Structure 1
Amino acid sequence: MYRVLVPVDEDVDRAVSQASYVTDLPEAAENVEVILLFVFTGDDDELPSEMQQFKTADRIQSVRRARDHLQDHGVETIVRDDSGDTTDDIIQEAEEYDVDAIVLGGRKRSPAGKAIFGSVTQSVILNTDRPVVVTGKNS
């Protein structure tokens, strides 16, 4: 079984593009397992404790659409969520599940934008020894 980590953010088009890449792999329905990951960042810890139970990846539209696309194509899919630092969580999940590849959704940024704001994609590529595929948005 070829295991792929697909970390998605809130961008639906980018998430579906990542899922489409996976479903286009040869015999994906028979040979590929996907761990779909969403990382909650920011002020999520400020939610009242009674609301924390509702903080799940399944409530995020991009996760649902990517999961639906994968499952519609017969690809076994596990949905995971985490909170914290996106890059560290992606690398940790890749290690924990011993994935064969990481499929990231790239976004267009100028070189200056990358230097000022950083880039999760760039950080993951530089900090993992696993193959990384970067997809764009569907047109």
Structure 2
Amino acid sequence: MYHVVIGIDDEETHAHRCVEAVVNLPGDFDEKKVTLIHSFIDNPSGASATQVHSVREAGEMLEEHGIEYTVEESSGDPANAIVSVGDETDADLIVVGGRKRSPAGKALFGSVTQSVILGATRPVMVTGVED
């Protein structure tokens, strides 16, 4: 079983691209297992990750392909949560969505994707964005 952790933010486009990347990995769908992780930065209403539209969309796409998945949630720093879930589940791969950002934008606002790449002890796949 090939286990993939996908970091899911609020962007539906990122979720779709991440799931497409997993679907297109070599191997049969029943040989893949996915953990979707969504980290809440601010959650005053107490919502669960399964209530987040992008997480639901990712789950539905995985179900359409017969890929087993679970949903994890956390609060705080998304990069730390993604890396932690990857380590805790002994994932074979972490998948995150990328954004186009200037070097100054990364320095000022940080980058979850960059932090995952630098902090992970396992392979990380970054999906692109459309122009």
- For residues 61-91 of structure 1, give each alpha carbon's deviation from its aligned partner in whole angstroms, at most 9, with x where no partner exists: 1011111111101111111111111111111
Instruction: Give the alignment of 1:38-117 within 5 angstroms.
Output: 38-42=38-42, 44=43, 47=44, 51-52=45-46, 55-117=47-109
Structure 2: any 5+ residue segments left out of the alignment?
A: none
Runs of 4+ in 1 over 3 A off after TM superposition: none
Per the alignment, residue 7 of structure 2 pairs with 7
Identity %: 44
Scaled by the length of structure 2, the TM-score of the pair is 0.94
Mapped partners of 1:66, 1:30: distance in 2: 17
- How many residues in Structure 1 have an aligned counterpart in Structure 2? 131
- Following superposition, the deviation at residue 27 of structure 1 comes to 2.5
- Following superposition, the deviation at residue 30 of structure 1 comes to 1.9
Mapped partners of 1:133, 1:113: distance in 2: 21
Scaled by the length of structure 1, the TM-score of the pair is 0.89
Mapped partners of 2:67, 2:103: distance in 1: 36
- For residues 68-122 of structure 1, give each alpha carbon's deviation from its aligned partner in whole angstroms, at most 9, with x where no partner exists: 1111011111111111111111111111111011001001101111111111111
Mapped partners of 1:28, 1:138: distance in 2: 27
**Richer in helix (by share):** 1
Mapped partners of 1:130, 1:117: distance in 2: 25
- Following superposition, the deviation at residue 134 of structure 1 comes to 0.2
Structure 1: any 5+ residue segments left out of the alignment?
A: none
- Following superposition, the deviation at residue 138 of structure 1 comes to 5.8
Per the alignment, residue 123 of structure 2 pairs with 131
CA RMSD of aligned residues (A): 1.4
Mapped partners of 2:73, 2:60: distance in 1: 17
Mapped partners of 1:96, 1:134: distance in 2: 20
Mapped partners of 2:125, 2:28: distance in 1: 16
- Which protein is bigger by CA-based radius of gyration? 1
